[in-house]
Structure 1
Amino acid sequence: MSILKIKEQDWQIAKIKLSRKYNHLTEEDLSYKEGEEDLLIERLAKRLKRTKDYVVFTIGKQMEDLAGNRV
């Protein structure tokens, strides 16, 4: 069970922001279906060579300010 809960429509915006911040991530890396947060976090942690906590923090920051332009 993941700490992070992501709605599909929110993820579409966050995904764009993450792809701008980490331009080496592919569409496959950023693929997500609601309820599969743990799979997304594990995949991104491996791809970014970071800890799961870092990925949760980064996604959480993106989700806080979906309307903002900051990455």
Structure 2
Amino acid sequence: MTNTLKISAEEWEIIRLKITRKYNTLSEEDLTYTPGEEEAFVQRLAKRIRRDAEYVRFTLAKELQDLHTNRL
């Protein structure tokens, strides 16, 4: 099941900080995101953190719902 994510550049800046705290081994290259290329980002991040793409989509969707909290 593929869920379509849409993340704006502004939302990404907040999500990026949260992901960096949770996965502090990710490089700048790992965290490079271009709006409109969400699926490529999901696949790259899934490979890097050794989780499946569905987990990454779920995590990102959850972060979009809780943008302004410290919750990871």
TM-score grouping bracket, smaller chain normalisation: over 0.9
Aligned partner of 1:35 in structure 2 is 36
Identical-pair percentage: 48
Q: Give RMSD over aligned pairs.
A: 1.4
User: In 1, Cα distance between the equivalents of 2:35 and 2:58?
Assistant: 18
Aligned partner of 2:55 in structure 1 is 54
Question: Which AA in structure 2 matches 1:44?
Answer: L
User: In 2, Cα distance between the equivalents of 1:60 and 1:25?
Assistant: 19
User: In 2, Cα distance between the equivalents of 1:67 and 1:4?
Assistant: 18
Contact 1:2 1:37 in 2 (8 A): no
Contact 2:45 2:56 in 1 (8 A): yes
Question: Which AA in structure 2 matches 1:17?
Answer: K
Using structure 1 for the length normalisation, give the TM-score.
Answer: 0.92
Q: Which runs of 5+ in 1 are unaligned?
A: none
Count of residues paired in the alignment: 71
Post-superposition shift, 1:51? 0.6
Contact 2:3 2:57 in 1 (8 A): no
Q: Which runs of 5+ in 2 are unaligned?
A: none
Using structure 2 for the length normalisation, give the TM-score.
Answer: 0.91
User: In 1, Cα distance between the equivalents of 2:32 and 2:64?
Assistant: 16
1:66 counterpart = 2:67 = yes
